[in-house]
Amino acid sequence: MPTAFMCPLHFTRARLLITAAFRMIATLTVCAVMAACTTVSGTGRKQFNVYSTSQENAMGAQAYQDEMKDAKVIISGPVFDRVQKIGARIATAAKQLHPEIANTMVWKWTVIDDPNMVNAWMLPGGYGAVYTGLVNFVQSDDELAIVMGHEAAHAIARHGGERMTQDALAQLGASAAGAATNSEAIAQGAAMGLQAGILLPYSRKQESEADELGLFIAAQAGYDPRCAIELWRRMQAQGGAKIEFLSTHPSEGTRIELLQQQMPQAYAIYQRTRVDGTATDAKDFVDTKPPSR
């Protein structure tokens, strides 16, 4: 089969057309940003999100129903009770720290029986799930709260709507490039470039932001934030090394470094909640001794 070839003249023309297309998209994006720029609660980061909270919550509710269709759900027992107790404290802490967005969420934590899945998630609107594989993996309620706080932080920071907005812009850009050059191959190449150069860096930023917000939420709920570092180290050992450049999560080394920077503030919050009981179910943790580290 002959090798596909694009002559230099056509290649130059295609490049100019792609550049023009992306300049047009950039102009439209700047206009849209001015109308759809929001601020992430807790970090102050500006984000581009064309969806309202009610739209996000409705899509989260639908996605949750879809996820539950084939899920093996646990509705009672020690594991269920444990997740609900931690989830209640995470919800109350989030409402204390981020009342505007957290009070619009339903705060539902579903336990899914899958011992091979070390995972948890929370969709827009507060529809969350914890897998039994994660419950078996963590070594304390503190560690489980760190993960649940991280997932809750994604919803608090409205990462779902932000990500959907980014995806829509990426599809628009790829389509414009393909239309300008009348080339499906160029459209696909442009989409791959956007995926590596635009979408994934935002995702890493979102993960780091969820680490930060989730750490403070867990601490506000009365869970020891110091366990986060050992937790992520164990996860790193379990999952092996990652290449950060094309990963949707920061490398574990980067994650731990950032958590260490945030730990003094998080631990101060944790110590305060143990004294004044600002989080829910204060009777369960105010009088307990701090763990030795």
Residue 219 lies in a domain: yes
Q: In sequence order, what are the residues at sequence separation of 6 or more whose Cβ sits closer than 8 angstroms to the Cβ of residue 91?
A: 102, 105, 107, 126, 152, 280
- List Cα–Cα distances, 30 to 17, 169, 189, in angstroms: 20, 12, 24
Is residue 4 in a domain?
no
Q: Flag whether 289 is in a domain.
A: no
Is 176 a residue whose pLDDT tops 80? no
Local structure of 198: helix, strand or coil:
helix
Phi-psi region of 281 (alpha: psi -120 to 50; beta: other; left: phi over 0): left
Q: State the average pLDDT over residues 57-81.
A: 95
85, two tokens: 């107790």
Using CA atoms, how far residue 7 sits from 4, 11, 13, 148, 188, in Å, is 10, 6, 10, 54, 19
- Say whether pLDDT at 134 is over 70: yes
Q: 233 lies in a domain?
A: yes
Of the candidates 56, 143, 151, 209, the residue annotated as catalytic is: 151
Mean pLDDT of all residues in the chain? 77
Residues 137-152: pLDDT tens digits? 999 999 999 999 999 9
Residue scoring higher pLDDT (252 or 1): 252
Mean pLDDT of 189-213: 65
Q: Is residue 266 part of a domain?
A: yes
Q: Name the pTM for this structure.
A: 0.74
Does residue 151 carry a catalytic annotation? yes
Distance CA 187, CA 79 (A): 48
Please give the average per-residue pLDDT across 18-46, as a whole number.
63
pLDDT of residue 30: 54
pLDDT > 60? residue 17: no
**Would residue 6 count as lying in a domain?**
no
CA distances from 224 to 113, 266, 269, 283 (A): 26, 9, 10, 16
How many whole angstroms separate alpha carbon 275 and alpha carbon 130? 29
- Give a yes or no: residue 149 inside a domain: yes
Give yes or no for a contact between 248 and 196, defined as CB atoms under 8 angstroms apart.
no
Distance between alpha carbon 154 and the CA centroid of its chain, in Å? 4
Could you tell me if residue 290 is inside a domain? no
Give how many domains the chain has, as a whole number: 1
Q: Are 123 and 155 in contact (CB under 8 A)?
A: yes
Which residue range forms the structural domain that includes residue 21? 11-284
